[in-house]
């Protein structure tokens, strides 16, 4: 016992060093999966507050472009609403269709694009009805998936994440493929597993597929920038440009899929 | 002002500056400067090694909370704090600091400081970017990140040290 104590006292620096490094590695290893650990959850509110405070300053400089973007979206929504607009009674009747999705507007309080695993923090949390695994979109295209929620804030795993995989569809040919991120440039992603007979041109549109568990169907993802055909029998790849500009992301919508629980329970019963 | 208070203020200001300003600067996909290391660089020479380690870990973990990467910065900064006494010996040679308590650009040779900052920032960035990719798969990309980020970090840290060196003398 005496020897042990002497050993610890003599080598306390190296022991402490190894201990702290082991703690770091364990924390890091646990954070590698989508749902991060208790530490991020418990501190999310404080971190969110600081970021919100910081982004309030920057927001003033972006009011102009934010206004423009929202006005454009308004115009688009009006156009879509005209389908259900009854000209005789001047009433918008949206009860005719079965509502599948609810959109919860939120603001980005922090966003990174230069890490290997990027997360976005938004200013809506459990009190606004945000839950894990809800999808997040902007007016330009898809953004990411909610991974952690605290009372007032939520963190969103952005498409710019080394583990991000999204089921996508090529608009022209309806073929399915999957979208990943190559971790170096926030403007471009990579579509993999494109069937060999499909040849893509620059500018072809990529949408979300109905097979994606996360995103609703037919949302804009991006456009093809470069097509890489492979020589032998392998599946093709393509570089795409995200339609969402992650560097200027401010206003987003969290999508509450009202039928998700129903679909999930069916899936469980099948197994 | 009390030395401990100065260090606490320095800690908070550097964390905020890092996460609210520096992390939002985009210089291509590969340049990620980290200036919060200034805190570890400026701790007193006489500080016990275990305190250096604990402070390094705390500093890294604070940054981790903001970037959502628990353990990443903590691991790299602890390693840097661990290497600090050795690096000081290495870059100083026969130089002695009998009357200097903290590393200070006003009292120490500029070249000495540059070597000191460069060595420790390099160790930190090397550990950080490898831990971040968590594999050796993207080794070319990781090396490029290290190669491009280290000079920018060193430059920014030297600027901060230069700007605040005069205030130190007045104390």
Domains and CATH numbers, chain B: 3-170 (1.10.1760)
Q: Which domains does chain A have, with CATH numbers?
A: 41-85+96-162+249-258 (2.40.10.340), 166-246 (2.40.10.350)
Instruction: Name the residue with higher pLDDT: A185 or A135.
Output: A135
Q: pLDDT value at position A38?
A: 57
Distance CA B32, CA A118 (A): 13
pLDDT range class, residue A136, cuts 50, 70, 90 = very high
Distance CA B53, CA B84 (A): 10
- Residue where the block lists tokens 């994440």: A161
Phi, psi for residue A49 in degrees, rounded to 5: -60, -50
Q: pLDDT value at position B83?
A: 93
In angstroms, the separation between the Cα of residue B24 and the nearest Cα of chain A is 7
- Max avg pLDDT among A63-67, A83-87, A96-100, B167-171: A63-67
ipTM given for this complex: 0.85
Q: pLDDT value at position A22?
A: 92
A5: Cα within 13 Å, side-chain hemisphere: 2
Residue from A18, A31, A51, A114 whose CB has the most chain B CBs within 10 Å, to mutate: A114
Could you tell me where the DSSP H helices lie in chain B?
Answer: 3-20, 38-41, 49-67, 72-92, 110-133, 139-163, 165-170
Q: Under an 8 A CB cutoff, do A36 and B70 touch?
A: yes
Instruction: Kindly list the residues from chain A whose CB atom is less than 8 angstroms away from the CB atom of residue B138.
Output: 183
Distance CA A8, CA A2 (A): 10
Q: Does residue A105 sit in helix, strand or coil?
A: strand
Residues of chain B with pLDDT under 70: 1, 26, 28-29, 95-99, 134-137, 166-171
Could you tell me where the DSSP H helices lie in A100-160?
Answer: none
């Amino acid at each position: 016992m005496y020897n042990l104590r002497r050993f610890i006292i003599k080598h306390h620096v190296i022991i402490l060093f190894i201990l702290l490094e082991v703690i770091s590695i364990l924390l890091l290893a646990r954070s590698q999966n989508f749902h991060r650990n208790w530490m991020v959850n418990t501190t999310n509110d404080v971190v969110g507050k600081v970021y919100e405070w910081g982004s309030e300053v920057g927001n003033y400089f972006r009011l102009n472009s934010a206004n423009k973007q929202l006005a454009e979206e308004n115009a688009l929504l009006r156009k879509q609403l005209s389908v259900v607009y009854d000209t005789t009674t001047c009433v918008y009747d949206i009860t005719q269709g079965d509502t599948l999705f609810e959109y919860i507007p939120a603001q980005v309080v922090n966003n990174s694009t230069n890490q290997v695993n990027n997360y976005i923090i938004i200013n809506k949390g459990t009190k606004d009805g945000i839950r894990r695994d809800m999808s997040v979109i902007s007016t330009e295209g898809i953004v990411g998936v909610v991974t952690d929620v605290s009372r007032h804030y939520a963190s969103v795993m952005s498409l710019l994440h080394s583990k991000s995989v999204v089921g996508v569809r090529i608009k022209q040919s309806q073929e399915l493929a999957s979208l990943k991120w190559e971790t170096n440039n926030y403007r471009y992603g990579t579509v993999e597993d494109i069937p060999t007979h499909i040849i893509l041109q620059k500018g072809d549109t990529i949408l979300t597929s109905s097979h994606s568990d996360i995103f609703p169907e037919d949302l804009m993802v991006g456009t093809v920038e470069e097509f890489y055909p492979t020589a032998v029998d392998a599946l093709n790849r393509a570089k795409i440009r995200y339609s969402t500009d992650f560097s200027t992301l401010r206003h987003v919508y969290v999508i509450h899929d009202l039928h998700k629980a129903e679909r999930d329970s069916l899936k469980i019963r099948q197994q | 002002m009390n030395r401990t208070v100065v260090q606490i203020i320095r800690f908070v200001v550097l964390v905020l500056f890092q996460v609210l300003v520096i992390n939002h600067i985009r210089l291509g996909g590969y340049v990620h400067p980290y200036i919060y290391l200034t805190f570890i660089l400026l701790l007193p020479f006489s500080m016990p090694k275990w305190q250096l380690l604990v402070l390094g870990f705390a500093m890294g973990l604070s940054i981790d909370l903001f970037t959502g990467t628990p353990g990443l910065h903590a691991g790299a900064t602890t390693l840097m704090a661990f290497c600090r006494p050795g690096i000081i010996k290495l870059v100083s040679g026969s130089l002695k600091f009998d009357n200097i308590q903290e590393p200070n650009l006003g009292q120490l040779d500029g070249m000495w400081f540059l070597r000191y900052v460069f060595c420790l920032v390099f160790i930190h960035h090397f550990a950080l970017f490898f831990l971040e990719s968590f594999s050796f798969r993207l080794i070319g990309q990781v090396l490029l990140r290290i190669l491009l980020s280290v000079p920018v970090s060193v430059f920014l840290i030297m600027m901060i040290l230069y700007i605040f060196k005069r205030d130190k003398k007045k104390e």
